[in-house]
Amino acid sequence: MQRKFLFEIEEYYHVFNRGVERRDVFLNEQDRRRFINLLYLCNSISPVNMREVAVQGDAFVLMREKIENGISVFMKKLGTAYSMYFNTKYSRTGALFERPFKATHASDDRHLKHLYAYIHLNPLSIQNPGWKITDGNALPQISAEKFLREYPHSSYLYYLGNKRNEDVILSTEAFPEYFTKQEDFESLLRDWLQPEFDFNN
């Protein structure tokens, strides 16, 4: 299946994929750590060049293209490297991820804000099976925020000002103006957790 748009430099894209046959691709903490490390190591146009980046991560799985074809090159390297690790570790063969990877273009501020909320609130479905941000179903704010603050596999903590090693894959150089303060980011996510939030506006 071909994408209906071409990636453009400095534009925002929600880039994602899932395992073939909807299989789990992270079976333990070591797998998750390996993938996060590869987000950094694969971010170049040549084999593991630490200085030359092909994309800029702004939230986990939200990217800006920095060079022509950067996102496609990055996703190919990331998928190949992680699949080789996974297949070797678990004695399996064949594709691990669906092809091609999926991407949506964040064409305006409203869509970009939605993506920031979606990406950072999505882990709540682990604690609340079946819950989706688009459902409009309220979750208890205190328990939701507690879970997100304890969930390590997200850029949520980065936006709260907590420094971690994996932050090296993220950047605020082109940070949207509406997220210049931590309170702005927290306020956006709280709006999506409230039952009175109007999803049509």
CATH number of domain containing 37: 3.30.70.1290
Distance separating alpha carbons of residues 79 and 88, to the nearest angstrom: 14
**What is the domain count for the chain?**
2
Q: What is the pLDDT of residue 200?
A: 39
- Average pLDDT of the chain to the nearest whole number: 79
Q: Are 12 and 114 a contacting pair, CB within 8 Å?
A: no
- Domain residue limits at 173: 108-201
Residues 30 and 112 in one domain: no
Looking at 54, 79, 107, the residue that finishes a domain is 107
Residues 114 and 183 in one domain: yes
Question: Across residues 90-103, what is the average pLDDT?
Answer: 93
Looking at 66, 91, 107, the residue that finishes a domain is 107
Q: Are 115 and 122 a contacting pair, CB within 8 Å?
A: no
Q: Higher model confidence: residue 193 or residue 21? A: 21
pLDDT, tens only, 130-163: 777 665 566 666 788 888 888 888 888 888 888 8
pLDDT, tens only, 23-48: 999 999 899 888 888 888 888 766 65
Model confidence at 196: pLDDT above 50: no
Q: Rounded to the nearest 10 degrees, what angle do helices 29-41 and 70-89 cross at?
A: 150
Residues 15 and 84 in one domain: yes
Residues 115 and 96 in one domain: no
Distance separating alpha carbons of residues 100 and 71, to the nearest angstrom: 12
Q: What is the pLDDT of residue 52?
A: 53
Looking at 107, 140, 169, the residue that finishes a domain is 107
Q: Are 34 and 82 a contacting pair, CB within 8 Å?
A: yes
Distance separating alpha carbons of residues 158 and 156, to the nearest angstrom: 5
Q: What is the pTM of this model?
A: 0.78
